[in-house]
Amino acid sequence: MKSFCVLGLGKFGQSLAVSLAKREYQVMVIDENENVVNALADHMTNAIIGDPASEQILRASGAAEYDCVIVALSERINDSILITMLLKEMGAPYVVVRANSELERRVLEKVGADRIVFPEQEMGEKLAGMLESDSILEKLQFSDRYSLVEIPVPEAWVGKSLIELSLRTKYGVNVIALTEPDGEIAINIDPQKPIGAGGKMMFIGENKKISKLLNKNS
């Protein structure tokens, strides 16, 4: 089972720790705020009250032994840099660090961070993707280039088959599932069967091609 250590329990750190724990991973959290740590303790594998930037606490807790350590401090970039250096010196295999600017990213990379994240920016981009079309029900972005999207079946598609729609030829997207109005999901879709009203369609493709399709059928 993969294990995670979350250092810093601001909103981002708390949300991440809880999400990982719900997925039944081993999760340890460290923060100075006793109330926050105690509130999460029952849901975590281990919860420690203390300064995440303390070398003594990092060593005593065994933070570097976790598969992934997330440095989630929001406004303490000096501490984030120090923690990253200490963790890598201790042999931490993978360190993810929160940053707030491009300069912080460059510095953190130089001291050994394996991955730098910008939570607000990434969440904003995800929300923008969800809002780019009123028709999108769900969107899962695999990379900067590809996404999986679920939309209600457009009125113009009702009564037509996948062969008639030619979505792969026209837009370069692949339909992978069709949900009927009663909730039944069809994975192996008959390409000659007319599509009914009130259902949902899930497809995958390049983001720019998906946007073209949605704009054309909005």
Sign of CA dihedral 49, 54, 59, 62: positive
Distance between CA atoms of residues 79 and 60, nearest Å:
18
8 A C-beta contact, residue 4 and residue 15: no
List, in order, residues 6 or more apart from 86 with CB less than 8 Å away: 55, 58
pLDDT, tens digit, 9 for 90 and up, residues 142-190: 566 778 888 888 888 999 999 999 988 888 888 888 888 877 888 888 8
pLDDT at 194 over 60: yes
Q: Each residue of 85-135: pLDDT tens digit?
A: 999 999 999 999 998 888 998 999 999 999 988 886 665 455 445 444 445
pLDDT band at 208 (very low <50, low <70, confident <90, very high): confident
In the chain, the domains with their CATH numbers are 3-117 (3.40.50.720), 123-216 (3.30.70.1450)
Q: Is the pLDDT of residue 139 over 70?
A: no
When comparing pLDDT for 47 and 99, which is higher? 47
pLDDT at position 122 = 60
Provide the pLDDT for residue 143.
61
Note the pLDDT of residue 127. Answer: 45
Average pLDDT of the chain, as a whole number: 85
Stretch 193-212: mean pLDDT: 85
Burial of 31 (0-12, 13-18, 19+ CB in 10 A): buried
pLDDT at residue 69 tops 90: yes
Tokens of 170: 């026209």
DSSP-derived 3-state class of residue 181: coil
Residue 70 has pLDDT above 70, yes or no: yes
